[in-house]
């Protein structure tokens, strides 16, 4: 599976702080429960990467006349 390949797999994503001061991304899909813990600095880096990717995706979809979906 690559980043640019579509998939029919549905998953739930939860994001929040833990009692230990970490930021947890929790991915739940059929047969998968995956908690991913990051320190706050790492979480901020991930957030910036998400913002950058979102901006790039907007530019790509704008060139095709499509609007992204959530």
pLDDT tens sequence for the chain (70 residues): 688 888 888 999 999 999 999 999 999 999 999 999 999 999 999 999 999 999 999 999 887 765 555 5
- Of 51, 22, 49, the closest CA to residue 38 belongs to 22
pLDDT value of residue 50: 97
Gap between the terminal Cα atoms of the chain: 21
pLDDT value of residue 1: 64
pLDDT value of residue 68: 54
CA distance 34 to 5: 21
pLDDT value of residue 4: 84
- Of 41, 37, 45, 34, the closest CA to residue 20 belongs to 37
pLDDT value of residue 2: 81
């Amino acid at each position: 599976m690559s980043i640019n390949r579509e998939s029919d797999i549905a998953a739930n994503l939860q994001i929040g702080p833990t009692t230990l001061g970490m930021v947890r991304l929790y991915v739940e899909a059929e047969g998968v429960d995956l908690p991913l813990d990051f320190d706050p600095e790492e979480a901020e880096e991930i957030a910036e990467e998400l913002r950058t990717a979102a901006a790039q995706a907007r530019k790509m979809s704008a060139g095709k006349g499509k609007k992204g979906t959530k």
